[in-house]
Amino acid sequence: MAGLQADNAKLSSQIIESPDRLKHTMQDMNAGLRKEQEAVLGYEKKLREISAKIDALSQVEQEIERCVKVLGECELEMQRLEEVQRQLTAGQENVSRSEANIRDISLKDQVRPGLTVLATAAFRRSRSLASDPSVLGRSASHCSN
């Protein structure tokens, strides 16, 4: 019974008997409700703005990931280019060496006919000297001394 009396006392304090006071309390409650509704609308607007920012940041993140991927591909292509340039340089050096060898061989071929003529003349002279008995005697006398 004591619990009922406490509940009754609590409820009695909440009963407004004056119509003016009731009207004023309702106006206060309506003003509070409007403030809360405005706050909720403000929070919803802020939520939409934040969601839009998150979406934009998400798109930026995806674009950055694509850029990083493209940069990785560019790095690979640069490595391939450097390798091709090294191969090209080596090939050019080989061509230069081959051209130098060809020039050397060409010069030797140009010099060779002259050497061949000189060698042939020297061979003929040595044969003629070998067939001359007077030269043979001198050669023998030089050998015995």
- Taking only the tens place, the pLDDT of each residue in 47-73 is 999 999 999 999 999 999 999 999 999
More confident residue, 41 or 23: 41
- Is the pLDDT at 139 greater than 50? The verdict is no
| Residue 117 located in a structural domain | yes
Please say if the pLDDT value at position 135 is more than 70. no
Answer for the pair 135, 129: CB distance below 8 angstroms, yes or no: yes
Over residues 75-131, the pLDDT tens digits come to 999 999 999 999 999 999 999 999 888 888 877 766 555 556 666 777 677 666 655
Q: Where are the beta strands (DSSP E) in 16-142?
A: none
Is the residue at 79 inside a domain? no
Please answer whether residues 16 and 22 qualify as being in contact, where contact means their C-beta atoms are separated by less than 8 angstroms: yes
Q: Would residue 70 count as lying in a domain?
A: no
Residue 145 lies in a domain: yes
- Residue 33 inside a domain? The answer is no
Tally of domains in the chain: 1
Q: Which residue has the higher pLDDT, 126 or 4?
A: 4
The reported pLDDT for the residue numbered 28 is 95
Q: What is the pLDDT of residue 3?
A: 82
Residues 6+ apart with CB under 8 A from 16: 22, 25
Contact 136, 127 (CB under 8 A): no
pTM of the model: 0.45
Q: Is the pLDDT of residue 132 over 60?
A: no
Residue 136 lies in a domain: yes
Instruction: Give a yes or no: residue 101 inside a domain.
Output: no
Kindly tell me if the per-residue pLDDT of 134 is higher than 50.
Answer: yes
Give the domain range for residue 133: 110-145
Does the pLDDT of residue 140 top 70, yes or no?
no
114 within some domain:
yes
Radius of gyration of the chain (CA): 57
